[in-house]
Amino acid sequence: MNTPVSVEVMALAGFEWLVIDIEHTSIDLQATENLIRTIQANNIKALVRVSKNEEVIIKKVLDMGADGIIVPMVCSKEDAIQAVNHAKYPPVGKRGVGLYRASGYGTRFEEYKKWVDGELVIIVQIEHIDAVNNIDEILKVEGIDGTIIGPYDLSGSMGHPGEFEREDVKEAVAKVLDKCKEHNIPSGFHVVDTNPEQLKLKIKQGCTFLAYGIDYLFMRDAAMNGMHKIKEGLK
């Protein structure tokens, strides 16, 4: 949600990193910059799920000072190379130079350039069956730091949106996790369900990079659960 309160509450809960989602929300770029500041002020890493694998949006959020990006719909080796090119400076990538917040408004550009080479996090989102079929080639692209599976879109690309327990969907997820282990690339999953037991299951499956819940889902589930218990107690 577009509010620093959400960040501060998540910080109190003990999250290690937070993602600002500008793909599926109404959060604009000005709000994104302010949320990055708030996240980092709470000593948490700030990642941004960008709206698409596109040069300008990736360049903008990185110049704002994001610690990393999550790039949606990476379905091929070419998509992965494109994401790296947009995020890294030459000679590794093709990112243009902007002297904005990330580089101390130009005062620490050389330091920031080294940080981009060694510390910037690029996560590719595996959320289409084409990505599963091309996972070996995607994971071989230099500069990719990890993957995260988007379960809704992945199951949707297989013709069954939201049906995570289907055998073919589970097999697709397992293939990605196995390949990440084989290539020594952190394997991620977005556990949307706020039930922590679901997250524990993904740890057991070998996931090492986990997104847990969504801020408004934590609020929704707590409110609905509380109201349900109140109403049941009044019967």
Domain boundaries, the chain: 4-234
Pick one of 3.20.20.60, 3.90.1150.10, 1.25.40.10, 3.10.690.10 as the CATH number of 4-234. 3.20.20.60
pLDDT for 119: 97
pLDDT in tens, 110-143: 999 999 999 999 999 999 999 999 999 999 999 9
The owner of tokens 């793909």 is 23
Give the model confidence (pLDDT) of 144-165 as tens digits.
Answer: 999 999 889 999 999 999 898 8
DSSP-derived 3-state class of residue 190: strand
Letter string b/e over residues 96-112, b meaning 16 or more CB atoms within 10 A of that residue's CB: eeeebbbbeeeeebeeb
What are the pLDDT digits (tens) for 70-109? 999 999 999 999 999 999 999 999 999 999 999 999 999 9
CA distance to 55, 102, 177, 178, per residue, from 62 (Å): 11, 7, 28, 30
Q: Average pLDDT of 32-61?
A: 97
**How does pLDDT run across 174-213, given as a tens digit for each residue?**
999 999 999 999 999 999 999 999 999 999 988 999 999 9
Tell me which residue of 141, 121, 95 sits closest to 16, measured CA to CA: 121
> What pLDDT sits at residue 164?
84
**Which residue's structure tokens are 């610690």?**
67
pLDDT at 139: 97
Say whether 24 is catalytic: yes
For 18-41, the pLDDT digits (tens) are 999 999 999 999 999 999 999 999
Helix (H) and strand (E) counts for the chain? 11, 7
Neighbour-count burial of 4, counting CB atoms closer than 10 A to its CB (0-12 exposed, 13-18 middle, 19+ buried): middle
In this predicted structure, what is the pLDDT of residue 234?
A: 84
Give the lowest-confidence range in 57-61, 163-167, 212-216.
163-167
86 CB-near residues (< 8 Å, 6+ apart) = 53, 54, 55, 58, 59, 93, 94, 95
Q: Whole-number mean pLDDT of the chain?
A: 95
Confidence check: pLDDT of 235 > 80: no
| Edge-to-edge strands, sheet with 146-149 | 17-21, 45-49, 68-71, 121-126, 146-149, 187-191, 209-212
Token pair 């697709």: residue:
172
The reported pLDDT for the residue numbered 158 is 95
* C-alpha 37 chain-centroid distance: 18
Q: What is the pTM of this model?
A: 0.94
220 conformational bin, left if phi > 0, alpha if psi -120 to 50, beta if neither = alpha
pLDDT computed for residue 233 by the predictor: 85
**Which one is catalytic: 24, 160, 183, 190?**
24
